[in-house]
Amino acid sequence: MDYKQNYQHWLNSPALSEAEKAELSAIAGDDKEIESRFFAQLDFGTAGLRGTMGVGLYRMNVHVVRHATQAFAEVILAEGAEAAAKGIAVCFDCRNNSDTFAREAACVMAANGIPVRLFDSLRPTPELSFAIREYGCIAGINITASHNPKEYNGYKVYWSDGAQLPPKHADEVAKKMRELDVFDCVKTMDYDQAVAQGLITLMGEETDEKFLANVMEQVNDKAAVEAVADTFKMVYTPFHGTGYKLIPEALRRLGMKHVICVPEQMVIDGNFPTVASPNPENPEGFYLAVDIAKKEGADFILGSDPDADRVGIMVNTGNGEFKVLTGNQTGVLLLDYLIGAKNRTGKMPANPVALKTIVTTEMARKVAEVNGLKCYDTFTGFKFLAEKKDKLENSGEGNVIFSYEESYGYMLGSFVRDKDAVTASVALTEMAAWYAGQGKTLYDALLGLYEKYGYYGERTMNLVMPGLDGLRKMADLMANLRANPPKEVGGTVVNQWKDYKDGSVVDAHTGEKSAMELSGSNVLRYELADGTSVIVRPSGTEPKVKVYILAQGKDQADCADKVARYSAWAESLKD
């Protein structure tokens, strides 16, 4: 059907409430708005679904959630009765409609005979990953749009390993969604009836306790916290989200006496009233925390995003001002600290390994290798980091002590297979306390790492391409770069062109071609003559192409100059 037929199909469906029909009737004369809502289904990928909320095929609403869940249920049932009987875990965050969407998903799974473990209230994303593994579920669903603006919601899907859905199963769900009518093919049942029949079981504090027990096992040096606990102060904000309960509790168990929470942002609210964007990458979101930190004389500030899978920090620069650290800087600090702490306390495993994504700073590799660890790259996304961790550990090739990506995601331990702001918050606080015991702030520590390992500078740029023609523009940009690879970037010669789609490496001077380990992802990488890497990839969840600049230099000013020059080249790609 075309978008006009889809619009009529929805408008005429008995599945819609009167309010939903009124919303659609209100756009009857707006052809552009109708097209934007009904030109296609939301794309289902390995990250599931994500979109703005509203009535329509290309929006997040109960009908799209039911439709996706029916498709997912059929993929699970195809695994056989024994697999389906393992059941599915369902979680949700603080966003508007998240609890409703989670309940609807649970009712569809129950109607298909698949037992559901549903959290009784909002929980951090990593706790879902943990619950899947802890209870032996076949899969999981999380209703969240992570750090997106308030207008968004999403539908993340997980498999039995606790990681996000592998491409094979994601493709199967997407295929089923194309085959199934959005209304007529969906099975659902009454929630209370499903609970009464034991098809839906609620999870609560007992799961929290099991999860927190695993979190606390990741502590390496509690004595370092206890040594400064009387004077060491920090500020925490959950940005109105799911970290509000477990992160302060985990920090209390760590031995922290002075965790000062931002009161306005401890209030659960899907409208995120105190911030323009609930994203720990954005310094402006921390303004309330900074005011408190200055007033209380705090050492550092920590903030988790709405579903508590990502965490960002601000550090005291020593003059009473606070500076946001990038995800790259935070990860390098934490990797270096974990290596030292594990060696210091005798907790370093044999054959230790660090994992990072291809767009994460090369400084992490330097830190790992200088300290005798191997460092491996994966594609962007924690499903790939989880997959590599399992492969290395199952084969006996290595034991992963830390996995991270530049976008504020960190994974420690073996009880989750996703970004985990709860455990990362504990590790970051332990690290900050240890440095405080040495008379240093985390800012001092970062400057020390640059002195030890060399100077690095990074920037991630978002070339936003909105609208119906945005996907075409993104595809055209990648096609043009493949057809005409740049010979120089920002005035610097390109030595190598790397294409992660086919795994090819081409010498830009001789044309000689070789292969690299990774392939199968729509990513281009340019290795420049000065040691800088420039990476270009389309986002999998938003209408934008991301450009990553990973520079090295003789000092911070040199790195900053390189980042600025190559950023100008990246901006020109939009033209």
* ∠ CA 121-239-272, rounded to 5°: 85
3-class secondary structure, 570: helix
The DSSP secondary-structure symbol of 45 reads B
3-state secondary structure 447-498: HHHHHHHCEEEEEEEEEECCCCCHHHHHHHHHHHHHHCCCCEECCEEEEEEE
Residue 98 annotated to the active site: no
Instruction: Return all residues near 234 (Cβ < 8 A) that are at least 6 apart.
Output: 251, 256, 258, 259, 260, 298, 299, 300, 301, 302, 429, 432
Burial class of 323 by CB neighbour count within 10 A (0 to 12, 13 to 18, 19+): middle
Kindly report the number of other CB atoms within 10 A of residue 572's CB atom. 9
3-state secondary structure 68-86: HHHHHHHHHHCCCHHHHHC
- In whole angstroms, give the CA distance from residue 338 to residue 474: 39
Rg of the Cα atoms in the chain: 24
Kindly report the number of other CB atoms within 10 A of residue 85's CB atom. 11
Nearest to 394 by CA among 353, 425, 431, 434: 353
Q: Strand pairing partners for 498? A: 505, 525
Give yes or no for a contact between 224 and 440, defined as CB atoms under 8 angstroms apart: no
Q: Strand pairing partners for 496? A: 507, 527
Q: Give CB contacts under 8 A, 24+ apart, made by 22-30.
A: 23/54, 23/55, 24/55, 24/56
Orientation of helix 3-11 relative to helix 31-38, angle to 10°: 90
Q: What is the dihedral of CA 532, 538, 543, 548, to 10 degrees?
A: -10
User: Among the options 146, 304, 403, 533, which is catalytic?
Assistant: 146
The DSSP secondary-structure symbol of 53 reads B
Give yes or no for a contact between 111 and 131, defined as CB atoms under 8 angstroms apart: no
Residues with catalytic annotation? Answer: 146
